[in-house]
Structure 1
Amino acid sequence: MKDRKRTATVKPLARERIAVLFSEAEKVYHEHPAYSDRYVALARKISMRERVRIDREYRHRFCHHCYRFLMPGENMRVRIHPGWVAVTCLDCRKTTRYRMERSP
């Protein structure tokens, strides 16, 4: 059985580590895109192991089909429609739609 006290201390640490991995992936992308993909894989593995959701800002930064790091203008295309945004990964050609809410 997993210790409940341990998860209370590990979850914030996991979120912090995921944030660091995504920031490193963004910094390294232009020199080594494969490293960025590896950082995304590590962040996903941490989130699954510790049962922590990846924040929305980071969830939109990788393809949910091929799990590659997405950099606008480099390997992704963004199209804005009324009420939603379509993001196309140019590596696997899959499109992901995100609902866009209006700000009051």
Structure 2
Amino acid sequence: MQKIAEERIERLEALAKDAVKAGEPDRAREYVRLARRLAERHRCGVPRSFERFTCDRCDAYLVPGLNARVRLQEGSHVVIRCDCGETARYPYG
């Protein structure tokens, strides 16, 4: 059952990415919310790519250059800022 949930989460991630690129951010937010709720219900994690490219505050699927700014910070960090103002920092290297 968990494998089915993981496959559905991956499919919802692809749908969210396509919805943002098609100019439908509200539909993408709904896909992100569904995927997170599904992961909680089945106690499985979301993929790292999904986790890093979703906003924790507004549930937007982040696409660099479209609705998110991505910068490199000294000290080997990636800084991603959503249009809502939420900032996430991730190490790299």
Give TM-score, length-normalised by structure 1: 0.82
The one of the two structures with greater contact order (alpha-carbon pairs below 8 A, sep at least 6) is 2
Q: Aligned AA for 1:54?
A: V
SS in 2 for 1:71: coil
Of residues 35, 41, 44 in structure 1, which corresponds to 2:33? 41
Is 1:28 the counterpart of 2:19? The answer is yes
Deviation for aligned residue 1:89: 0.6
Instruction: Give the number of equivalent residue pairs.
Output: 91
Question: Which 4+ residue blocks in structure 1 deviate beyond 3 angstroms?
Answer: none
User: Within 5 A, what are the aligned runs for 1:40-79?
Assistant: 40-79=32-71
Instruction: Report the identity percentage.
Output: 33
Matches of 2:7 and 2:52 in 1, distance apart? 17
| Equivalent in the alignment of 2:79 | 86
SS in 1 for 2:31: helix
Larger radius of gyration: 1
Structure 2 residue ranges without an equivalent (≥5): none
Matches of 2:23 and 2:57 in 1, distance apart? 23
Q: Aligned AA for 2:80?
A: V
SS in 2 for 1:97: strand
Structure 1 residue ranges without an equivalent (≥5): 1-9
Deviation for aligned residue 1:27: 1.3
1:7-58 deviations in Å (ceiling 9; x for gaps): xxx1111110000001011112223111111000000000011111101011
